[in-house]
């Protein structure tokens, strides 16, 4: 049962082969057996999930009855611990007072959350090693990072605990762990996911929520659940009339695709990127080694002010207001968070607006490559290196190929491409704004064409 994706699980439930309770009980058993070696799930909701399982009608939606996990960041659930990787929030035992919109949508779709997953502090590091809960281990090779900040979700899905887990991405936090754990991780276009009731956007529009999955079609089905604009949302975008899951079954027209192999990428990563380009070329797409010149520019001058201002707001305003404290104690902040918050406090409003202006001009140059060149997709590495050991992650290095598309707002996904020394390597597909359908179409072809190991070793 643990090798089935979400849609296959739901189909078996709809046919009566299994009951929702049986499926949820099996997921709980896997979590109890495998999580101690992974430290991926930090809060369980086993009793509540079994209560909810009995009320679900299989077949009522494409994913009805599928057990999932939710990342302990943004996607809060009423009555469950909600700590965002923070030692401070853990110390006061903060609990979610209500449901985030996406938690409601997942539940309305009949999906059953069995617990919450580990993440880095406030999602601001590219490995999941928070002081509050300790490191999550990569199921392919314990002692190595599963990525971050959605590392707990990725490790749990890769280990077969559940087929789908939520994540969010402000600088690769879905794509990074998907790459490191051999999974599919899409960051949707800006505004696709609903960050209510608290937020219209996060980190000045750089954050999106979605899921990490083993299959492309599960990612598309979950996007049908989560990406529904409402009259009170700050962004409204075109969506496929029949939905993304239906769209991936349509015939695929040849696409114009560019690919980049940055010189600083490790050779195993470079080889995986070339393999993806060759596979797409063999499918009849027009593939050439080309990419946006803007990706060669240093974007730290406007990227870091966004992260710094956002972190300062989270640390100094958002959480103190919610928890009723004057300030989060400095000794309960990790060094990266404290550093970013200090930088944010030093920014003036004019500094931030100046950085935004530079960033928007850069985004126009970036997007022009797709618009002026008629390109449908860009293929490039998700990360410059294979998964590092715990304690060896370079955050700036890990942001280099993923964060640009948080800033531009484009959809981008990491798909499994290769294995090296027992660890997965993902390659990234990037489309024009609102064209997730192009990513799904290419990713589905690659899922069929590239060799992939079935599962990581069982946790010891």
If you average pLDDT over residues 119-148, what whole number do you get? 97
pLDDT for the residue 424: 97
Cα 363 to Cα 370: distance, rounded to the nearest angstrom:
12
Residues carrying an active site annotation: 71, 149, 173
pLDDT for the residue 160: 97
Fold of 6-296+357-449: Amidase signature (AS) enzymes (3.90.1300)
Contacts of 19 (CB under 8 A, 6+ apart): 13, 53, 58
List pLDDT tens digits, range 270-302: 999 999 999 999 999 999 999 999 999 999 999
Structure tokens at 131: 């002081």
pLDDT for the residue 149: 98
* pLDDT band at residue 238 using 50, 70 and 90 as cut-offs: confident
Is the pTM value of this prediction over 0.95? yes
Dihedral sign computed on CA atoms, order 140, 143, 144, 149: positive
If you average pLDDT over residues 57-66, what whole number do you get? 98
pLDDT for the residue 460: 60
Cα 408 to Cα 393: distance, rounded to the nearest angstrom:
25
For 151, 157, 356, the CA distances from 139, given in Å and listed in that order, are 11, 10, 39
Closest CA to 83 of 142, 144, 134: 134
List pLDDT tens digits, range 96-112: 999 999 999 999 999 99
List pLDDT tens digits, range 430-451: 999 999 999 999 999 999 999 8
């Amino acid at each position: 049962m643990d090798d089935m994706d979400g849609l296959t699980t739901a189909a078996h439930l709809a046919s009566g082969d299994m009951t929702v309770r049986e499926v949820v009980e099996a997921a709980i058993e896997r979590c109890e057996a495998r999580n101690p070696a992974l430290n991926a799930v930090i809060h369980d909701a086993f009793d509540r999930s079994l209560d909810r399982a009995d009320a679900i009608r299989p077949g009522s939606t494409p994913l009805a009855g599928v057990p999932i996990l939710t990342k302990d960041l943004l996607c809060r659930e009423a009555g469950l611990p909600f700590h965002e990787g923070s030692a401070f929030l853990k110390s006061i035992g903060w609990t979610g007072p209500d449901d985030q919109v996406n938690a409601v949508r997942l539940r309305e779709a009949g999906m059953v959350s069995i617990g919450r997953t580990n993440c880095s502090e406030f999602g601001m590091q590219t490995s999941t090693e928070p002081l509050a809960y300790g490191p999550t281990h990569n199921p392919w090779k314990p002692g190595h990072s599963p990525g971050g900040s959605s590392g707990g979700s990725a490790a749990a899905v890769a280990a077969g605990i559940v087929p789908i887990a939520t994540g969010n991405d402000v600088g690769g936090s879905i794509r990074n762990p998907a790459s490191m754990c051999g999974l599919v991780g899409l960051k949707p276009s800006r505004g696709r996911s609903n960050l209510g009731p608290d937020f219209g956007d996060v980190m000045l529009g750089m954050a999106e929520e979605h899921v990490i999955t083993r299959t492309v079609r599960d990612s598309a089905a979950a996007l049908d659940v989560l990406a529904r604009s409402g009259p009170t949302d700050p962004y409204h975008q075109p969506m496929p009339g029949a939905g993304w899951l239906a769209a991936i079954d349509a015939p695929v027209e040849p696409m114009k695709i560019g690919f980049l192999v940055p010189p600083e990428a490790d050779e195993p990563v470079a080889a995986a990127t070339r393999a993806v380009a060759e596979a797409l070329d063999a499918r009849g797409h027009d593939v050439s080694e080309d990419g946006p010149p803007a990706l060669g520019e240093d974007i730290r001058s406007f990227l870091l002010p966004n992260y710094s201002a956002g972190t300062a707001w989270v640390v100094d305003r958002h959480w103190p207001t919610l928890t009723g404290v004057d300030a989060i104690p400095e000794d309960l902040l990790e060094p990266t968070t404290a550093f970013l918050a200090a930088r944010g406090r030093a920014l003036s409003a004019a500094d931030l607006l100046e950085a935004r202006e530079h960033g928007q001009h850069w985004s126009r140059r970036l997007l022009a490559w797709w618009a002026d060149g008629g390109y449908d997709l860009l293929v490039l590495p998700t990360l410059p290196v294979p998964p590092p050991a715990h304690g060896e992650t370079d955050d700036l290095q890990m942001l280099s190929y993923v964060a640009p598309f948080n800033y531009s707002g484009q959809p981008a996904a990491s798909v499994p491409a290769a294995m090296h020394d027992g660890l997965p390597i993902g390659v990234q597909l990037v489309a024009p704004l609102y064209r997730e359908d192009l990513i799904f179409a290419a990713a589905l072809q690659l899922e069929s064409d590239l060799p992939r190991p079935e599962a990581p070793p069982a946790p010891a």
